[in-house]
A and B are shown apart, each in its own frame.
Chain A
Amino acid sequence: MLKNRERYLSFILVSPSILAVIIFIYGFIAWSLRVSFSKWKGLIADYSWVGLKNYLELFSDPRFHVDIRNTLIFTGVFVVGSIILGFIMAVILDQNLKGENFFRSLFLFPMAISYIVTGVVWRWLMNPATGDRLSGFNLLFKTFHLDFLVNDWHTTPTWGIAAIALAAIWQMSGYTMAIYLAGLRSVPHELREAAQMDGANQIQIYRHVIMPLLTPITLSALIILGHTSLKVFDLIIAIAGKQLPLDVPAIYMWQTTFDGLFYGRGAAIGILLLISVAVLIIPYIRYILRTDIES
């Protein structure tokens, strides 16, 4: 049993952190919420209550509709791409090939790099210039006679955001590879052997034995990558700057708040982002903590 004095001490030890979390996370969320119900627009704070006005204006704002469409396209391409690519890489690396460590490190290293660096480099790789000025991937395609692949990348109307998602896949697919590989390694060997005894071939073993066991990993990847794509900001800024066709909520929030000084609307976008992240993350945290207690 803990002595009372030491119980106090343990609380005192964590209290600075708890206080910081209460203020900087929950206090600030409440504060943002309050700003989102205000008409604050300009350098001087104005907390006059306007109710849901900022939210309602957003819902009928064409720019916010573009943001939602872009977020959906980005999320779809990025999440599906990272999961498929990560899974393929994990399955290949699970075959005990020579050089496995080298390839695994190679697929993971972009995660150590900043989105800004990735963005600056990809901006030149995806240069849409044509004719004599052809460069980047387009030049590479042309050289290898793959002209049909030459495209306008992020400057493509409507689907431009998908090009940004390609750079994000480059950066994050190593993460899905790593979690799938850890999952594959934890599949009991006997299970594969038993399936093989029953006459299943390799593809059948993956399809019917291994993949069902990896479902929790796929779910985690969906949630983690999905919530990352709601927050995407740096990568787009570094590739394309603040351009309306590639707008997303995080950029709109940024521009309307710090360039346009429309704090009320900026806060409303922030809160909407928080709600969409919370819908994904809260069940996830409950799930992690439940499995944590069981194990």
Chain B
Amino acid sequence: MKRFRIGNRWLYIPLIALAGFYLIPMYVMLVTGFKSFAEIDLTKMWNLPKGIAFDNYIEAFKQLSPYLKNSFLMVIPATLISSMLGSINGFVLAKWKFRGSDIIFPFILFGMFIPYQSIIIPLVQFMRAIGLTGLIGLAVAHIIYGIPITTLTFRNYYASLPQELLEAGKIDGATMLGIYRHILLPISIPSFVVVLIWQFTSAWNDFLFAVILTGNREWPVTVALNNMAGSQIISWNLQMAGSFLAALPTLLVYIFLGRYFLRGLLAGSLKG
């Protein structure tokens, strides 16, 4: 199919300029990371490294590794459980409605947008009262506040499937759970990928919940990195290398599964 063109190859000029703008922070992070300690000088931050050294990455990793581990420990269960819940909720709200389910849905949806400042005081009080603090408490918070977005994504997907798919199962005598497990679950893999990526990224990148619900041994990497940056003793080159390490897991997910990331973004991922 022929498309209309404004001015063909001249368009690469703004395009490449824009690409430069998006790559600048990446460039600084990477270049600084590969410099040796001897080369570190803020006024030469744009210069390419003289050779390849790993001083900064090694040192930053030494400082951040316990917190990277915390992030993984918290993010993996949070991602899996909230995706499972979202899938079940989405199934019921799209295909197996009960009285009032259409009224409930917008109320769940609203939860996606609330500023967490409006629930954070009760959250801290409540979690302390029931003894759910630290990484487990943080994972629970991500699971619960993830329910709206995961439910929305799965509900939209299941709603797009024809009702006949379920009817066939019913005729064969399958129960509701049987239909979910044997008919819907196997074809939900793409939606699971979308939701898993989304939840992984938002739980990994979260700062607000982490900083109030965890103490210094349990900090995930975002909190540790922010403290590293706020410290007067830790130099900027380590902060750059540390930033790269903290960004790496979600960047890798994005590089390999970017298609799904985009789909999640467009599907319902209207969250900021």
Contacts and interface: CB of A to CB of B under 8 A. Distances in A.
B122 A28 contact: yes
B25 A112 contact: no
A113 B83 CA distance: 21
Interface string B70-114: 000000000000000100110011001111010011111111011
B92 A113 contact: no
Interface residues of A, number: 110
A237 B176 contact: no
A29 interface: yes
B51 interface: no
Interface stretch (A58-66, A114-122, A157-165): A114-122
B151 interface: yes
Interface of A: 2, 6-11, 13-14, 16-18, 20-21, 24-29, 31-32, 35, 45, 85, 88-89, 91-92, 94-97, 103, 105-125, 127, 129, 132-136, 139-140, 143, 170, 172, 175, 178-179, 182, 189, 192, 196, 202, 205, 220, 224-225, 227-228, 230-231, 233-234, 237-238, 241, 249-250, 253-254, 257-258, 263, 266-267, 269-271, 273-274, 277-278, 281-282, 285-286, 288-289
Contacts of A205: 4
B182 to A, nearest CB: 16
Q: How large is the interface on B (under 10, 10 to 19, 20 to 34, 35 or more residues)?
A: 35 or more
B204 A24 contact: no
B147 interface: yes
A45 B121 CA distance: 11
A111 B122 CA distance: 30
B29 interface: yes
Contacts of A271: 118
A21 B121 contact: no
Nearest to A196: B4
A250 to B, nearest CB: 6
Contact of A270 (B23, B106, B121, B148): B121
A222 B174 CA distance: 46
25 contacts: A7-B98, A9-B177, A10-B98, A17-B85, A17-B108, A27-B122, A32-B119, A32-B121, A92-B14, A112-B247, A112-B261, A113-B205, A116-B246, A117-B225, A125-B28, A136-B45, A170-B25, A202-B4, A202-B6, A220-B270, A224-B272, A241-B230, A253-B117, A257-B121, A266-B121
A258 B117 CA distance: 12
A188 B246 CA distance: 43
A127 B118 CA distance: 33
B115 A139 contact: no
A95 B205 contact: no
A175 B254 CA distance: 14
A11 B101 CA distance: 9
Contact of A134 (B14, B18, B22, B43): B43
Nearest to B270: A224
Nearest to B88: A13
Given A97-B15, A196-B4, A238-B226, A25 B114 contact: yes
Would you list the 10 A-B pairs with minimal beta carbon distance, nearest first? A228-B272, A114-B205, A112-B254, A274-B118, A28-B119, A270-B118, A31-B122, A28-B122, A270-B117, A273-B115
Given A114-B246, A238-B226, A20 B113 contact: no
A171 to B, nearest CB: 10
B154 to A, nearest CB: 12
B199 interface: no
Nearest to B150: A17
B236 interface: yes
B62 interface: no
Contacts of B98: 7-8, 10-11
Contacts of B110: 25, 278, 281-282, 285
Nearest to B175: A6
B117 A273 contact: yes
Contacts of A179: 266
Given A6-B176, A109-B254, 10 more contacts: A88-B14, A103-B15, A107-B19, A114-B246, A120-B242, A135-B42, A179-B266, A257-B120, A288-B109, A289-B109
B153 interface: no
A172 B205 CA distance: 14
Contacts of A10: 92, 96-98, 176
Contact of B226 (A18, A113, A120): A120
Nearest to A124: B236
B42 to A, nearest CB: 4
A9 B91 CA distance: 12
Interface string B213-253: 00000000010011001100000100110110011001101
Contacts of B118: 28-29, 32, 270-271, 273-274
A240 B127 CA distance: 30
A71 B141 CA distance: 27
B212 interface: yes
B114 A108 contact: no
Interface in B2-33: 3-6, 8, 11-12, 14-15, 18-19, 21-25, 28-29
Contacts of A132: 43
